[in-house]
Amino acid sequence: ALDGSDAKFQYLQGRSQKVLRLSRKLARVLHLSAESIENIQLAARLSQVGKIFVPRDIMIKRGLLTDAERRQVQLAPYHAYNVLKGVLPRRVAKIVYQMGGKVVDDPETGANHELTVDEMLFEARVLLVANDLCAMVSQRGNRPPLPLSEARQKLIQRSLYDRTVIHAVNSLDDAEIMSLLDVTEQTQQAPQAK
């Protein structure tokens, strides 16, 4: 559904496969078990499914999102978890859920708490970094893609990311990351100063 022709998902087309390739590479660099790699691969394939529940006007909006709109996007992992928990091994559904960095206790009231790195399953930490790096270097409705060097810097600066996973990212050269994420040099050009 996400890779369909609906403009709602134009910025997500192919995203699951990109996240899958990068997260699988990171899992191998980190020497994770075959079971963990399998869990990460399955979670990556389904990592964007919660976006189906985000209203269309938010998904295609140009420009910055309001706080309320951002909250709708942040609920996507919760929606994914509700869809996946009865179909997949619970750990895989939980990896997708935790990838969002928030645990939503009540979607009606928005009661939640920000997960710390230590509260997340390790597979979710890997998937979070892969997903966020992919998002940063990809075109979005509300902003152009960031250069890979700037995206790497943001990963280092934010405390939400596991340092071991960031070290694994930094062990990969730019060309390999760009290949895994299917990013061209043209989309990586820094924005022109005016």
Which tokens sit at 71?
Answer: 């909250």
Alpha helices in 3-147 (DSSP H): 15-29, 34-45, 56-59, 67-74, 76-84, 90-99, 122-136
Predicted model pTM:
0.84
The length of the chain is 194
Q: By the 8 A CB rule, do 178 and 148 touch?
A: yes
pLDDT band at 62 (very low <50, low <70, confident <90, very high): confident
Average of pLDDT values for 82-92?
Answer: 90
Across 79-88, 91-100, 181-190, least confident range: 181-190
Query: CA torsion sign, 82 to 85 to 90 to 95?
Result: negative
- 47 in Cβ contact with 95 (< 8 Å): no
> 105 Cβ partners below 8 Å, 6+ apart?
111, 112, 113
Q: Phi and psi (nearest 5°) for 143?
A: -170, 155
pLDDT of residue 178: 94
* Positive/negative CA dihedral, 165, 170, 171, 173: positive
List, for residues 97-144, the tens digit of each pLDDT value.
Answer: 998 776 666 555 666 677 888 889 999 999 999 999 998 998 766 678
